[in-house]
Amino acid sequence: MDAASAAKDRVDRALALLERRLMDLKGKAAGASRVPDDSDLFAPQPSSETDRARIHALEAAGRDAAEALSRAADAIRETLSEQEAR
């Protein structure tokens, strides 16, 4: 296996892990209720509208970052595929 193939495999594995984690987070967010689950038992609840707005902004930024990372990964895959074709 050459270096480009090894790098592509590592990127693919890392992206698969990231995608699984993102799906887990999306699932938790979709199923979130006002009663925290055991993993969030000690997590503080938002105390004000400012906190809620900040949480919403952070979640949106996380989604934006995940989308940007996905686009970057696609570009890396495309570049590596082009290099392998040569």
Q: CA nearest 12: which of 75, 62, 73, 79? A: 73
Tokens 């809620």 locate to 52
Q: CA nearest 23: which of 56, 55, 66? A: 66
Section 50-78 average pLDDT: 88
**pLDDT confidence bin for 32, thresholds 50/70/90:** low
**In whole numbers, what is the pLDDT of the chain averaged over residues?**
79
Give the per-residue pLDDT at 41.
64
Give the per-residue pLDDT at 39.
61
This prediction has a pTM of 0.47
56 or 27: whose pLDDT is higher? 56
Structure tokens at 29: 């967010």
Q: Are the C-beta atoms of residues 70 and 11 closer than 8 Å to each other?
A: no
